[in-house]
Amino acid sequence: MFAKATKNFLRDIDAGGELISVSSLNDSDKAQLLSVVAKKRRFWCWQKPKYQFSSCACFLGDVLTEDVAVKPVVVESEFVKYEGKSDDVIQGNIDADFVAIHGNVAATEKVESQSSFGTLRKQELDMQHLMKDVQDRKIDLNHPFIQQLHENKSDILCVLKEKIVTTQKCVISQQSQIEETCKLGGKVSVKAKAVTVSVSESGNFKDENTVLEIPAPTAIAYGVVELFVKQDGHFEFCLLSEKQGGFAKASSVKYPCTTSGLYDHRSLCDFDVVDGARDVSFDGKPAPSNAALSVLKPDILELTKRFALFQELPDSQREELYNLLCEILDDGQIVSQIQAVVEEICLGAAPGLKFLNELKLPQQEHVEKILSLVGYDLKNEKLTDKSKEDLITAFHILTSALDEMPDAALTILGACCDRHLLPALCALPNITSDEGLCSRTEPLLSNLIDQGTFHIVQRLFSLSNMRLEMNEKAMHVITFKDPGFHPLILYIAMSGFHALIKHLRV
């Protein structure tokens, strides 16, 4: 819940900016100015990097060769007063909004929630002073943290330069699951879990749903500056966005993203350790602006061909896996935890239950069951069958896409699964023209013509940076300006679910 609340906060005030949300209260304690942070670039090109603190509270001065303290100058200022009252409307007309789904709804319930971290303050380093203070000093390349960072060829050394902290006691609560039936030319069951953040001066919390109280000051977001480290240990701060950090190398040898685990010699993306650039087997570029959906077809085919492995599972197993995955689409926290576990498995680690500590016992059992269906015994930390390695890789592609989708998009994807829309949606790239047009009389689109269904799909595409429109004759779908990887991510997710139910009656 803490992770979701901080993520929502950044979505509102710094979407696409440089700040990073704090994912746990434990990390909040570690988020200190001058802390060294590892920026870990991920396996798939659409995945956002992860940032990892040292487990031993390591600061910049600790990893420099000269034993001289770094004395930073800290500037503190009021950042923003974050208070926003929002309505989760479960009634209304086609312009109403319930967890980002537009449409007519039969129910009459309406939930009001207060989202507020109160007055926030920013603490940041005076970078000019810091650069003078560490001028001509070197990184100790023999320091344990630096050595471990250096072993993972794509990781980048960063320093925490700013953070956003609360000034009041806050409460984070999660409302009970809401499920309503929407009359949109049929029935759609919509599920969601609303996370609420509120400020309390008295400390008297009567809300029975309250589960987490955070004191002041608590860091909820931070920013870092990357370091480029030369072979002799001298380093420079990467102050421009186009300047990438990393470790200089003597030659332009390329290393795979991983050094152990399932991905040895199979990586879709390599890193050039001289300039940090990415080299991928497909073009690895974000979707083009204002482009027809058909443009994405080659990349979709390349990245989803592994989903054919799902069809080798027994029908009953495929159906059970599909149903279990559909059940978690209303809870982004479980999706993220499954992704974290699968990624650790693929990187050769033994994750055990360490990623599931924030989940309740029924949720942990749900995750264990999902992993068992793709061939991994979580309790004993091993594959049940060596032949399941390729299946785990395919499952990793699917979970990595789901984890990058907004929570609202996951919820709507679940509604599309309930309405059996995946065959039509997965067919769109193949039947649309180079202008993004497709005739409404196309038989494959018959399930999308209904006005209510169309608006659900339209919202899903909008959350994935695509514009879907329909008139009397045709459907038209094109990407937004600068859509990033979002259109591709949606199609990876839909293709994975579609592969699980292909030729099944679900």
* DSSP line for 260-278: SSTTTTT-SEEEETTT--E
CA atoms within 13 A on the CB side of 117: 27
Q: What is the pLDDT of residue 260?
A: 43
Which residue, chain included where needed, has tokens 């994935």? 464
pLDDT value at residue 361: 81
In the numeric block, the tokens 């309250």 are attached to 210
Asked if residues 427 and 448 have their Cβ atoms less than 8 Å apart, the reply is: no
Q: How far is CA 113 from CA 174, 332, 334, in A?
A: 10, 19, 22
What is the predicted pLDDT for the residue at 268? 40
So what's the pLDDT on residue 187?
Answer: 46
Backbone angles phi, psi at 453, to 5 degrees: -60, -40
For 59, the 3-state DSSP assignment is strand
Tell me what pLDDT residue 190 has: 54
Instruction: Determine the straight-line distance between the first and last CA of the chain, rounded to whole angstroms.
Output: 32
Query: Rounded CA gap, 358 and 349, in Å?
Result: 20
To which H or E segment does residue 379 belong? none
| pLDDT for the residue numbered 115 | 56
pLDDT in tens, the chain (506 residues): 788 788 878 877 776 678 999 988 888 989 999 999 999 888 888 888 989 998 888 999 999 998 888 999 999 998 877 664 444 333 322 232 333 333 333 333 333 344 578 889 999 999 999 999 999 999 999 999 999 888 877 899 999 999 999 998 888 876 654 444 444 444 444 555 666 777 765 555 444 455 678 888 999 999 999 999 999 999 999 998 888 899 987 544 343 333 345 554 334 443 333 333 333 344 568 899 999 999 999 999 998 999 999 999 999 999 999 999 999 998 888 898 899 889 888 877 666 556 676 677 888 888 899 999 999 888 888 888 877 889 999 999 999 999 999 888 999 999 999 989 999 999 999 999 999 999 999 998 888 888 788 999 999 999 999 999 999 899 999 999 999 999 999 999 999 999 999 877 65
The token duo for 392 is: 């785990």
CB neighbour burial string for 115-130, b if at least 16 within 10 angstroms, e if fewer: bbbbbbbbbbbebeeb
CA-closest candidate to residue 157, choices 65, 225, 259: 225
Q: Give the tokens for residue 150.
A: 């250096």
Least Cα distance to 247 among 274, 277, 270 occurs for 274
Instruction: Specify whether the CB–CB gap between 129 and 34 falls below 8 A.
Output: no
Percentage helix, strand, coil for the chain under 3-state DSSP, each rounded to 5: 35, 25, 40
CA distance 469 to 21: 34
Both tokens assigned to 178:
């809401």
Element (H, E) at 214: strand 210-214
Collapsing DSSP states into helix, strand and coil, what is residue 304? helix
pLDDT of res. 346: 85
